Chain A
Amino acid sequence: MIDRQSRVSARGRHPSASGWQPDLPRFTRLMTEVFAREGRPHPSVAAAATAVRGATGETLEQCSARTGVAPAWLARLESGDVGASLVPTVVAEATPWIDWLSLRLGATD
């Protein structure tokens, strides 16, 4: 007889759980939609900026130390207050699946 704890633990170790391959571009689109619904001025930028930190699980300070972007500026990017043209290169480079060129050339962001 397998107890519940062992079963839950086995599920966590099983390839179906550990083999998860997150589709980041897809999730970016969804986050952009969510942020747009929330009324953020630049939802694509907010989605990208949160991806840079969230995909690695960092705090603002840790991300700042890694990227060289000030925590306050990172927070502004994540809130969607800043347009694509002001996104630091390091943020754009960390999200290569986003078409930054189009965003910077004036498409909706």
Chain B
Amino acid sequence: MPDTPKDAVLKVLRGQKADHVPNFSGMGSITLTGIQELGYRFNEIHVDGRKMAEAAASTYRLFGVESAVVPFDMGVVAESLGATVKYYEKADLGQIIYPTMTRKIIDRAAVAAPGGLSEADAKTYTMKEVERQITEYQFKKPADIAKTGRIPVVLEALRRLKRELGDKVAIGSWTLGPFTELGQVMDLEILLKMAAKKPDVVTRHLQFMVEYLTDVINLYVEAGADFITVREMGATASILSPRMFKSLVLPNLQALFGRITSVPTVLHICGDTNPIIEMMAQSGANALSIDQMNRLPESRAKLPNVVLLGNYKAFGEPFCEGTPEQVEALIKQSIEAGADAVWPGCDIWPQVPVENMHAMMGAMKKYGLNSQ
């Protein structure tokens, strides 16, 4: 019997070979086509569990992508910890603006300098005050995480997906990684400087994030997630030195992946991952996800036995703005470069044309079948 999409995805994530190279994602993979067919506005699908599930399922139903993944925006966990998220309800129909953190828990916009200071002195005051707040802040978990913010929305979406598609496709969910999540809830600029100057403070907060993300992920798994992606893009080598990745980021990823034992896990980092790909492989994740900036054939050679998911560019040309022929070539390239599954480097742009989605899935049938 041929592998179902779900079989293929789970086999690959466990390091086994399926009868075909699966095409799936652990990140947002919704299309405007799917959302418009459902009759929803973009802002609605982030706040309603049923609509979220239907939007996630539409990418499988319309095109055959082998996963259904929720949520779609990066604000869910930050919001549950107290950050303010804006949903752009008034955006034009068809305009894609993802929910955004407009006020972090510690945000320089919330710090007013005393009057009478020069612009430069006021800025210095604010920066020092934010640093003091970060140093002194004590995170607290919400009393009932499953009922906080939009976590219940994501849980409802996962339960629905499990019920409706759970025997066919892999149900995925994701969180940011500890470091990236911390940057979502605290002033990022000051946090990055403190990572260099006061690593002990940053480490203390990262350890909280490991605990909290473990709790959130466990709820996602209980609700039906077959696999979990942890997106630690804030620690890409485009931002942090490999040295800092090793001392500050990697130990917390290891702690987090060490606690997720019941489902396969994926570590995703975008941007430049070439200098850190081997450390990523030590994180304890079952598979690694990289984007188009990773030199996949080199990574394949460095890590022959590690599951690598990648790494087509999910926005702009050619996937969203090129011809179907170009998309076919793009997908063929990922397979030939040695990806264990064809997987985007990021959330796919929802405006991707229908014919390009079909061209991608057509390329899988042409180049992605494994002989038994």
Whether chains A and B associate is: no
